[in-house]
Amino acid sequence: MQPVMNVEELEVFLETEFPQIHVDGRIYRVETVSEGEAVLSVRALERHLRPGGTISGPTMMALVDLAAYAVILAHIGPVALAVTTNLNINFLRKPEPGDLLATCRLLKLGKRLAVTECTLTGRAGGDPVAHATATYSIPPR
């Protein structure tokens, strides 16, 4: 399935509908949008670290949730009221401080539900630090 929104359109939508994600400045970014996929990043700040010098779980979950939302909207258009109904995450490795990337793919895109799969890695690549699935409810048009 081809996207109906590009990177710039998603960025404008998120800035307009969810300005609160930029309370720390522009730490979230839509990197790419392609067929069935979106890649988003977060620039983890000091407040996103936990003891031991690793990026916190809540920071990774927020990135996954935003990436899932973005990949869905990229393929259905700007539907602000699509909501998370389930998010499951497995933390695999200790992420080092710095940018994280979430590569999120559509597994199912129906009329009422969308299911995604996301892999988190550091910007430099390497082994995944987390793997997640998320389900969203899509409101009737």
pLDDT of residue 46: 87
Q: Is the pLDDT of residue 73 over 80?
A: yes
CA distances from 82 to 20, 44, 55, 139 (A): 17, 26, 27, 6
What CATH number does the domain containing 40 carry? 3.10.129.10
The whole domain housing 57 covers: 7-137
**Structural contact between residues 63 and 131, judged by C-beta atoms closer than 8 angstroms:** no
Q: How many folded domains does the chain comprise?
A: 1
pLDDT single digits (tens) 81-119 = 999 999 999 999 999 899 999 999 999 999 999 999 999
pTM: 0.95
- Of the chain, the percentage scoring pLDDT greater than 90 comes to 85
- What is the mean predicted confidence (pLDDT) over 115-138? 96
**For residue 1, is it within any domain?**
no
